[in-house]
Structure 1
Amino acid sequence: MATGEAHRIVDVENVKQYTFSTEPVPRLSCSDPEAEKRIANDQPVVLTDTNLVTSALHWNEAFLRTHIGDGKFTVFTSDSHKFLYYDDKKLKFVPNFKPPTRHLEMTFDQFIDKIEDKNNSKWYYLQQGLNDTVGTQIVFDFMGFNWSWITEQQKKNGWGTLTSNLLFLGMDGVITPCHYDEQQNFFAQIKGYKRFLLFDQDMFECLYPYPVFHPHDRQSQVDFDNPDFEKFPKFRNLKGLETVLGPGDVLFLPTYWWHQVESLPGLGNTLSVNFWYKAGPVEKIVYPLTSQQKVSMMRNIEKMITDALNNTAEVAPFFQNLVVGRYT
């Protein structure tokens, strides 16, 4: 399937259907002025011809097994195909919390052996920073990325430094449930097909994020497969965007945009690399505030109150007392 046709795969029967509606993310050439405009305005766009990771499109499990090196890599394991992120530094705030995944360190050979073992009932997901622990051939391909284009985007849009490049190798059918990040992200697909469900900051109240002190901070509390509309009634109002990335496609994923990522089932393992950049400084406040600025402000206020109270049990009553009867 050609890269430009990757979005058509969303029509296959085994793609999950949800209760909310979506519209397609625009697929554009990186030289299209509309693509530049969307990036500048923090709007998602799929770029079909950046050549950002062309030097790595030959990567697959066999090639990586030979060339990635003998070091230990970061692997997560789960009893299900869903890999819900959690922050182990916040476990102390929720005593009865049971981590949904386990963090392991293993060689690449060990990881491949695990995912190819037909008798293994566990799910595995490698998420490793591309750093000096990888082999020389991987470094050579990494240096061949289209750094001139992406660095130009960084400068043009006033972003901060590149913080990391993560290599993702996911099993067929794995899902990273809905969450948001606090960095600008170019997500490049190398092998296989990934479906992205995207929701802007105006959908914040529909997705019911966990409290900032919770290990699942920045994650939605709603189970997309079985939403509890009694507990989360505004989830009925959720609307979003959707796209499927194929090899060579690059998704611009702006900071604070909610996203769920699915390796499409029945199509093999997926291999991806992301490019995370710090958001640029806000030099001048312009009113009305953007939805992105409001989410950032809410997070900062919630963190400040949580730290000041020094007791997570007091956070909800504090906010209720602040609002109920005064602003309701």
Structure 2
Amino acid sequence: MSALTATASLIEVLSAYHELNSSGVEERSGEPTPLEFSRGVRQNFPVVFRGAVSHWKAVTNWRAAYLRDTMGSESIAVAETPLGNADSAVVREEDGKRYFVKPHERQMPFGEFLDDLQAKVTSESESAMVRYAQSQDDNLLREFAPLAADVGRDIPWASEALGQQPDAANVWIGNERSVSALHKDNYENLFCQISGYKRFVLISPYEAICVRETSLQAATYVPNPHTQRLAIVPDEPASEVLFWPTVDPDSPPGTAWWRYCRPMEVELAPGDVLYLPAMWYHKVSQRGSDEGLCCAVNYWYDMEFGGAFYPGVSFARQMTQMAQQEEEEEEEEEEAEMWRTQAW
């Protein structure tokens, strides 16, 4: 198959996908039955279940005073970034190179962390540090164990439909300054909003060509010991992050492929649950409650690699690589033709 044929085939696949699937996130009210949920999983398409966990104690109780009293003197892992951009592609000023940059992580007493989130932001503090509790290591039953009784250990209707317990349950606490850059996870994700609001921009895994995935050298934000400002420091030994999307869907690029992308948006309110299918790209921003906090819990279930979905997405990615190779060859040919013209 030639690179040109790969490009034409990929365009045809994307056009057919958009014709056959909804252009928006499906919304349902309340908890689904396991059978109803399993239908969404089979389609690999996002669904919002409005108010599905509104009965959780957390939705009522997780206000600042309660969180402070319940967590007590517990210390938690906190991600620190200068712009609220943990795990994202960032250009390093020192060498003009783009890196995949991880946050600086530190242990912090929960009360101190909460004070920081609620502090009035000044121009000076805003440029210095953004903090977010986002450790993705089953932290609900670890550092946030005092709060675990307020939520479920799993989502029963999802566990029954998927035939398994979640691989991890994670607590997310931050404010409006934190943003999760576009990325994907190899998990079936049940995202439960507790307080504040989260806005998701969702892109199908079949649209990989549109998000300009690339390999990036890994780096980490490291505080300057004198100024405490965060600097981007390449990891040693050097390592790469593969297939990382570099497009910001809120500031889309003026590329030919972006016109084939159909991003979908949805905002979660307290008590809502988003089913985010495995391998879907998503960017997440948030706005706080009346106390300036945004709290959520998500449950990761292992995805099913059997069946047609994963091989289909893998094939689309191979087609993407072939189409990108075609673009590179065309650019090289155009440049060569320009030099030949000038030589004449």
- TM-score, normalised by the number of residues in structure 1: 0.69
SS of the equivalent of 2:215 reads coil
Question: Is it true that 1:168 corresponds to 2:178 in the alignment?
Answer: no
Question: Mind listing any 5+ residue stretches in structure 2 that lack a counterpart?
Answer: 1-21, 90-96, 219-239, 331-344
Q: How much does 1:70 deviate? A: 2.7
**How do residues 158-237 of structure 1 correspond to structure 2 at under 5 angstroms?**
161-211=165-215, 215-217=240-242, 219-229=244-254, 232-237=255-260
Question: Mind listing any 5+ residue stretches in structure 1 that lack a counterpart?
Answer: 1-21, 87-94, 303-315
Q: Which amino acid aligns with 2:282?
A: H
Q: What is the percent sequence identity of the aligned residues? A: 25
Residue in structure 1 matched with residue 157 of structure 2 by the alignment: 149
CA shift digits 1:20-58 (9 cap, x unpaired):
xx9431111333776542223221100124338713112
Residue in structure 1 matched with residue 82 of structure 2 by the alignment: 79
Residue in structure 2 matched with residue 89 of structure 1 by the alignment: none
Decide whether the 8 Å contact of 1:193 with 1:264 is kept in 2: yes
Decide whether the 8 Å contact of 2:197 with 2:289 is kept in 1: no
**Cα distance change of structure 1 residues 245 and 165 upon mapping to structure 2, 3 Å threshold:** same
Residue in structure 2 matched with residue 262 of structure 1 by the alignment: 285
Rg comparison, structure with higher value = 2
Q: Which amino acid aligns with 2:175?
A: M
Cα distance in 1 for residues equivalent to 2:196 and 2:263: 23
Question: Is it true that 1:279 corresponds to 2:303 in the alignment?
Answer: yes
CA shift digits 1:85-126 (9 cap, x unpaired):
48xxxxxxxx98473632222121121122233343222111
Residue in structure 2 matched with residue 130 of structure 1 by the alignment: 140
Residue in structure 1 matched with residue 41 of structure 2 by the alignment: 39
Q: Mean alpha-carbon deviation: is it higher for 24-33 or for 187-196?
A: 24-33
- TM-score, normalised by the number of residues in structure 2: 0.66
Cα distance in 2 for residues equivalent to 1:205 and 1:169: 32
Q: How much does 1:193 deviate? A: 0.9
TM-align CA RMSD:
3.6
Q: How much does 1:264 deviate? A: 3.3
Equivalent residue in structure 2 for 1:103, among 99, 102, 105: 105
Cα distance in 2 for residues equivalent to 1:242 and 1:161: 28
The count of residues paired between Structure 1 and Structure 2 equals 268
Decide whether the 8 Å contact of 1:171 with 1:270 is kept in 2: yes
SS of the equivalent of 1:73 reads strand
Q: How much does 1:233 deviate? A: 3.6
CA shift digits 1:46-80 (9 cap, x unpaired):
01243387131121232111112433312112221
Decide whether the 8 Å contact of 2:28 with 2:47 is kept in 1: yes
Cα distance in 1 for residues equivalent to 2:73 and 2:258: 46
Decide whether the 8 Å contact of 1:55 with 1:145 is kept in 2: no
Cα distance in 2 for residues equivalent to 1:66 and 1:173: 25
Residue in structure 2 matched with residue 70 of structure 1 by the alignment: 73
Residue in structure 2 matched with residue 312 of structure 1 by the alignment: none
Q: Which amino acid aligns with 2:82?
A: D
**Cα distance change of structure 1 residues 53 and 210 upon mapping to structure 2, 3 Å threshold:** farther
**Cα distance change of structure 1 residues 324 and 27 upon mapping to structure 2, 3 Å threshold:** same
Q: Which amino acid aligns with 1:124?
A: R
Cα distance in 2 for residues equivalent to 1:169 and 1:101: 15
Decide whether the 8 Å contact of 2:81 with 2:130 is kept in 1: yes
